[in-house]
Structure 1
């Protein structure tokens, strides 16, 4: 990526204004209140202050940020900035791109803050039959052959009760976020993706969270092709995750495994895109006729 003015990187911003950026940053810090040390938190806040011209995007060298912190009396060390960046990237709130001068050599970094929605009020995955710690190995082996139901059946029943109450009661109903089904999913989520996910996760907030993870993985690879043209890859990653979940191969959460699987698939797509740009050597034209 070529170095340049901050306006050059507007396309990376995920926020419409500074207020929206601050709201997502606040949600992240509330959910990860023990992630940073005091000095790392100061580094995070300083970087945020340099991300308002283009909401959520900053272009600066780490040494420059360290120097600015000293001028403001904060005195954050370079090591603290490095630790903060490492933690922020791992937590998924920050993506860092390197830029290069046209004459060659490394220039400044481009720091891109990611959107962070509060955790869903519903659990991500519910199994049809919960296993207890005292289950025998025989019962455990038997359960592995059973089909795992990813939908939240008992909550579906609650919603049906609410629907019946609406028909018999004139009192206005104010459904919570967890009660909204897939028809309430924001319009920027492709319908093909919604249809693929809803048999397993039929809440709008859950489907939207998966798509946000897909956007996060997409941004890491700076594709030339828009994400909307790569929906089949995203769906394939989701189906792969479901397959491994049903075989109990997942050691982390379902969402984390989906994100990691998609990053791997996007890595393959990026290599294909890169190879397609390379000029091919025409050895037939290179042969001299005698």
Structure 2
């Protein structure tokens, strides 16, 4: 699909006006209460706000929407936005089309909200079950109290199962790339996480950088453990960021970081070696 102005995608809209779009969005959220986390819900609302020029249709890059959210004080991460999209697509609320430039390469997305039928089979089933239980109570009044208790137990059990299903579903929507820096293993120093997260904010990215640091460290036989050399690793990362921004890196960012860190560790190894060398003191040499 060729990239273009939002008006170009007007035929994708399934709503007569914004009011109808908002009604169907409300039906969806009521039916899928608990589907989104707080940050995912903010992402969903942000995308909805950008889908009013053509009701239910928006065209933008994900990074652009995330940046707009930050400007409005929404503080929505890219990972949260991707999780929201995955859930919305899975439940049939949203269809996402990719567009391409005439010169080649990926351009923006086209997000198309779908109509949602407010009729819920689950609600009908629950009402029918409730009515049947009431009829049973009229016919067998001697078991009324037991029936009520059984209904309450079943209702509580059903609520517990539904809550567990929501949690399980949320996990099924997640991939390793969706976990933010707070999920980084404790083996990675906090100071290192703090430096890396403004540039790479997923747990797996930060963890991979630290594993690279361990690999470089293991090339040498230091007396000090790596945890006592975190400042060296941080300096290597900062140096890599500087040269990357200065367009001096021809390899990948990770490769340059690894090479830089090996060079710094080599210098540290020399210092460690020289500190152990006993120098002969000619000045204080006793006279014969």
Larger radius of gyration: 2
Report the TM-score range of the alignment, normalised by the length of the smaller protein: 0.3 to 0.5
Give TM-score scaled by structure 2 length.
Answer: 0.44
**Structure with greater helix share of residues:** 2
